[in-house]
């Protein structure tokens, strides 16, 4: 049995935050039906580094988060399209959308309207700023939220700031938050039989991830420091130069710091008043780092990683993305699966990363071609073959 077996999701989302949410539901076994516009579908179908796939409406950005899903095209701006969608809502458990607030209401498809059709419906709306508030109607992309949340302000160092994260962190965290919320709402419905509306904002979602930094400011009245690759909670904890590159060392505990000093052959630093205690080491990290690096440069990163880890000091190399994806640990954990799509070829895609003992989730079908499943679901909803042909001709599907 799959964890979300017999749960039907109508997915009206585009690009990243919403599709990332529904991907997790699909990997857990839910039947996720993407509702796309008949012309070119999800915008992500055109986004990616391979123009030939973009032209096929199978861009790499789309492929990354739409495995295990179905594709149905409906023009929701038409009366007949809305009728078709409402028929699907009768059989659905969840609706997810990431339009700007008010769009679904203008279409006559708000939660209040859909709840009348299906009182047990769970409806999740994902937006940049949420459904209410002074910024609710503003357009928002990941980078805009990174700037408005303070993420870019605390990233980088004196030479490079503000600095965005190298991937769309706000979109992906917003999607995870939505998936988490939907699972909670499903549990509540199991106990009460009641559906509900969920309002997820990307801005809300990213803020708690900065909890430690925010707590230092809100409670300790300490402004964040631009530390680059250093860890603000401890020292030595960050990135250091070695003979052939760099190493991450996280000596966050006192005994780990003392081991570092011994292993690097500088035991006298343990008694240096600048470095003896954690808080003093943090204040004097700029003096400490070159003293450690002078010894770290005597051996390679690989040598130091072995020495430090064997002695209980967390450390690691800094891998390229390609090496990280191909690492033995990632292979062992089966974080990636390869599935074949006939027009694209082999696709290495991420599996569900939570490992369920009884109900494991994994990729079973490739991301769908646009409208691949429209006919199936319209027939299931009671429409005849002749009606379906007429809908296609009229641009309704």
- Catalytic site positions: 171
Tell me how far apart the alpha carbons of residues 56 and 54 are, in angstroms, rounded to a whole number.
Answer: 5
Strand partners, 32: 9, 69
Extract the tokens encoding 386: 């002749």
Determine the Cα–Cα distance for residues 341 and 345; give it in Å rounded to an integer: 5
- What is the rounded CA–CA span in Å between residue 175 and residue 169? 10
Query: Is beta strand 196-201 parallel, antiparallel or unpaired with respect to 122-127?
Result: parallel
Specify whether the CB–CB gap between 34 and 7 falls below 8 A: no
Distances (CA, A) of 321 to 123, 189, 305: 36, 41, 19
Is the preceding peptide bond at 58 cis, omega within 30 degrees of 0?
no
Are the beta carbons of 351 and 325 closer than 8 angstroms?
no
| Residue 182: DSSP 8-state | H
The per-residue DSSP string of 10-21 comes to EE---TTHHHHH
């Amino acid at each position: 049995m799959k964890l979300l077996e017999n749960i039907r999701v109508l997915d009206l989302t585009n690009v990243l935050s919403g599709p990332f949410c529904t991907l997790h539901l699909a990997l857990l076994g839910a039947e996720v039906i993407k509702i796309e516009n008949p012309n070119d579908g999800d915008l992500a179908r055109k986004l990616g580094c391979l123009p030939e796939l973009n032209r096929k409406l199978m861009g790499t950005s789309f492929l990354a988060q739409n495995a295990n899903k179905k594709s149905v095209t409906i023009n929701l701006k038409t009366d007949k399209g809305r009728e078709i969608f409402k028929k699907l809502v009768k059989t659905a458990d969840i609706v997810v959308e990431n339009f700007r607030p008010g769009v679904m209401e203008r279409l006559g498809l708000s939660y209040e309207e859909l709840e009348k059709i299906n009182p047990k419906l769970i409806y999740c709306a994902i937006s940049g700023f949420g459904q209410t508030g002074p910024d609710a109607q503003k357009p928002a992309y990941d980078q805009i939220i990174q700037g408005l949340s303070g993420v870019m302000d605390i990233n980088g160092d004196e030479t490079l700031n503000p600095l965005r994260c190298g991937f769309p962190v706000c979109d992906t965290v917003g999607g995870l938050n939505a998936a988490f919320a939907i699972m909670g709402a499903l549990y509540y419905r199991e106990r009460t039989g009641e559906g509900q509306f969920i309002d997820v904002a990307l801005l809300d979602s990213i803020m708690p991830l900065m909890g430690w930094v925010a707590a230092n400011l809100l409670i300790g009245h300490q402004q964040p420091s631009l530390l680059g690759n250093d860890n603000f909670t401890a020292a030595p904890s960050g990135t250091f130069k070695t003979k052939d590159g760099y190493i991450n060392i996280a000596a966050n505990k006192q005994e780990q710091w003392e081991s570092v000093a011994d292993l690097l052959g500088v035991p006298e630093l343990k008694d240096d008043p600048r470095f003896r205690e954690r808080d003093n080491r943090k204040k004097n990290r700029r003096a400490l780092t070159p003293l450690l690096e002078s010894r770290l440069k005597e051996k390679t990163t690989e040598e130091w990683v072995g020495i430090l880890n064997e002695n209980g000091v967390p450390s690691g190399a800094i891998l390229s993305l390609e090496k990280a994806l191909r690492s033995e640990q990632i292979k062992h954990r089966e974080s990636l699966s390869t599935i074949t799509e006939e027009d694209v070829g082999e696709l290495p895609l991420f599996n569900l990363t939570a490992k369920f003992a009884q109900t494991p989730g994994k990729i079973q079908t490739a991301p769908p071609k646009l409208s691949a499943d429209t006919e199936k679901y319209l027939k299931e909803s009671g429409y005849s073959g002749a009606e379906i042909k007429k809908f296609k001709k009229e641009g309704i599907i």
